[in-house]
Chain A
Amino acid sequence: MLARSVSKRFASALVPAVPYLWLGLLFLVPFLIVLKISLSDPAVAQPPYRPVFEWGDILGFLSQLDLENFETLIGDDLYLRATLSSVRIAAISTVLLLLVGFPVAYAMARAPARRRPLLVALVILPFWTSFLIRIYAWIAILKPEGLLTQVLTGMGLIGKPLAILNTEAAVYIGIVYAYLPFMVLPLYATLEKMDDTLIEAALDLGCPPWRAFWTITVPLAMPGVVAGSLLCFIPAVGEFVIPDLLGGSETLMIGRQLWSEFFSNRDWPLASAVAILLLILLVVPIVIYRDVEARRLETRS
């Protein structure tokens, strides 16, 4: 009897223990390794960095770690510019996403209740198709002799081909396109929950519709605005595929920098240092996002 209850307790402890250990081993430990390697020096060896950890000589190992990579990051203004430009591009994209996403989410929430599941499904559906393919589709549209130029010259609106591909504008279009569902869905969730009689009450008290929108609808949609913005801003800062395929060579983004340090220059320690920098940049938004999400899940139950 006692043995059975002990084995039962053990089995029930496995439920949190297994995913906990998995994430600890494959999420947390890798981070510590990144941190350690960011303090190491590159080397022509396998693996391409020094020192390599050895149990026998912990002190010797620790003494070889230094902040040289971070000094490089601070010293070279390429990284500073890449960081600032990443944040700027992500911030502008987030504002654009809000401008595009809010009217769509608002219209979805206003639609007749029986139509709404279909509209939600239509927003989610593109997400199920490959991200890479969806970005690829824009190359054909945006390139100088591409489909957009063809349509606009056909309509007689422009004389010469548009040069959008390989510019920052193309990056904005790509981010807005790829991340739109992540903006629309949280906005829709808060707008849909909103009580219509609040708007009626505002109208009844003499508030015209457009002002009711700004004084009632927008403030009450704030949780959705925050969640959607963070959900778009955070990954956009570290975005690699979109600037690489749609942006020009002058479009600096930190994710792209990390990629080239790693794959082109094979400087693993410097790439790790860039990763740490990116993480420091995002730690505050990620913590806020986690709080918002956790609160949202809790209020729903």
Chain B
Amino acid sequence: MGAVRRSFAPWSDPSATPLIRAENVTKRFGDSVAVDNLSVDIFEREFFCLLGPSGCGKTTLMRMIAGFEEPTAGRITLAGKSLAGVPPYRRPVNMMFQSYALFPHMSVERNIAFGLKQDRLPKGEIAARVEEMLRLVQLEKLAKRSPSQLSGGQRQRVALARALAKRPKVLLLDEPLGALDKKLREETQFELMDIQHELGMTFIVVTHDQEEAMTMADRIAVMDHGRIVQVATPGEIYEQPKTRFIAEFVGDVNILEGHVLGQEQGLWRVRSSGAATPLTIDDPDEVLHENQAVAIAVRPEKMVIQRDPPGPDAVNVLTGEVWDIGYLGDWTVYRVKLGSGAIIRVTRANRSRFVESPIDWDEQVYVTFAPDAAVILAE
């Protein structure tokens, strides 16, 4: 996960000034609101991901930064200067398009040189920069090819090189890996991170793929219905999701609904229909009152499945029968049907190649989790 540069955290430094700042930005198309009173700060050299389902407004926000749309209200500044009214061709921001938008009538070389030619740079400098970019994306041998003669992965690299060639202050990437197959996508994620690190550029990536966001981003902004629901590091988003929407959108999660009974020694006691005894949850930051309806979120890998009943002092014990087993090689996924009828997912790492008498379909099992494995989400 994005823990490569832990020391890099300008967002927690109150004296740092953001490179891009959106203040109360709203964008309407006719009656529909695409971006709803949104504010966010993005810092220099940051790898920032806008994550959300389709139609959440992430692409509109990116297009406003690029200059293809103007905010209906609010303002966007770049290095302190307002971008209002600045057309896209005068913004020091470049974009890599989801469709790549490579010019079909120009060779790879001319595509990469296009932006530099617009700045009327001397010929020699353009050639040198194009060569540098081709080397960066390892396409030196394909300089004379036309885009139609390239594979999907090669086109993606050309699009990246073209957008990087002008050395923009900010590079916007719209679903940069969306058109690649799974294996290539994983390799390219790391390449993108390396390139961003090497060039020291600010990257803003729009994606609907949470794995992609988790892998690459310094920070993720999860968007829903035109608003940012949470901005945090990948670790925080995963382990301390603010809302049920985030918990369910990022990774797999089991939700147990219940009512608060009270607080004992800093631990919350919650009654849930899925468990025979009240659950004990260690989530001290939450402010709750008695009888409040809450959702308890537990990640599948933080649950333990076993055939034998746990000891008498065990907490958070759920009982049920195995409904489904999915063997994924590295993991095995168990779907367990609780007494309440709810089905939860439990994963178990396959640590050895052979298991004696493995848990089987329809077997009665116990599922437990530690108090600090769960998060309480106010409904």
Interface residues of A (CB under 8 A from B): 195, 197-198, 200-209, 211, 216, 219-220
Count residues on chain B whose CB falls below 8 Å from chain A CBs. Answer: 24
The reply to whether B105 and A204 form a contact with Cβ atoms under 8 Å apart is no
- The answer to whether A198 and B89 touch (CB under 8 A), given A205-B94, A206-B119, A207-B114, is no
The reply to whether A201 and B103 form a contact with Cβ atoms under 8 Å apart is yes
- In order of increasing CB-CB distance, the 4 nearest A-B pairs are A205-B115, A206-B118, A201-B101, A197-B101
Q: With an 8 A cutoff between CB atoms, is B305 at the interface? A: no
Return chain B residues, CB-CB under 8 Å to A202: 103, 114
CA of A219 to CA of B106, assembled, Å: 10
The reply to whether B87 and A204 form a contact with Cβ atoms under 8 Å apart is no
**B214 CB to closest chain A CB, in angstroms?**
28
CA of A195 to CA of B99, assembled, Å: 10
The reply to whether A205 and B97 form a contact with Cβ atoms under 8 Å apart is no
Return chain A residues, CB-CB under 8 Å to B114: 202, 205, 207
CA of A208 to CA of B88, assembled, Å: 9
Return chain A residues, CB-CB under 8 Å to B67: 203-204
Return chain A residues, CB-CB under 8 Å to B102: 201
**Chain B contacts with A in 92-117, Cβ cutoff 8 A:** 93-95, 97, 99, 101-105, 114-115
Return chain A residues, CB-CB under 8 Å to B338: none
* Most B-side CB within 10 Å, residue of A198, A211, A219: A198
Interface residues of B (CB under 8 A from A): 66-68, 87-90, 93-95, 97, 99, 101-105, 114-115, 118-119, 162-163, 166
The reply to whether A204 and B89 form a contact with Cβ atoms under 8 Å apart is yes
In the complex, which residue of chain A has the Cβ closest to the Cβ of B94?
Answer: A204
CA of A205 to CA of B103, assembled, Å: 12
The reply to whether B66 and A204 form a contact with Cβ atoms under 8 Å apart is yes
The reply to whether A201 and B166 form a contact with Cβ atoms under 8 Å apart is no
The reply to whether B97 and A206 form a contact with Cβ atoms under 8 Å apart is no
Contacts A/B (CB < 8 Å), 21 sampled? A197-B99, A197-B101, A200-B88, A200-B97, A201-B95, A201-B97, A201-B102, A203-B68, A203-B89, A204-B95, A205-B94, A205-B163, A205-B166, A206-B89, A206-B118, A207-B89, A207-B114, A208-B89, A209-B89, A211-B118, A220-B105
Return chain B residues, CB-CB under 8 Å to A219: 105
**A11 CB to closest chain B CB, in angstroms?**
42
* Most B-side CB within 10 Å, residue of A197, A206, A208, A219: A206
**A147 CB to closest chain B CB, in angstroms?**
43
Return chain A residues, CB-CB under 8 Å to B166: 205-206
The reply to whether B87 and A203 form a contact with Cβ atoms under 8 Å apart is yes
Return chain A residues, CB-CB under 8 Å to B104: 198, 220
Return chain B residues, CB-CB under 8 Å to A216: 103
Return chain A residues, CB-CB under 8 Å to B105: 219-220
In the complex, which residue of chain A has the Cβ closest to the Cβ of B119?
Answer: A206
In the complex, which residue of chain B has the Cβ closest to the Cβ of A219?
Answer: B105
CA of A195 to CA of B94, assembled, Å: 18
- The answer to whether A205 and B162 touch (CB under 8 A), given A220-B104, A220-B105, is yes
- The answer to whether A198 and B119 touch (CB under 8 A), given A204-B94, A205-B162, is no
**Given A197-B101, A204-B94, A206-B118, 16 extra CB contacts under 8 A:** A195-B101, A197-B97, A198-B101, A200-B95, A202-B103, A203-B88, A204-B88, A204-B93, A204-B163, A205-B94, A205-B163, A207-B89, A207-B114, A208-B87, A209-B89, A220-B104
In the complex, which residue of chain A has the Cβ closest to the Cβ of B91?
Answer: A204
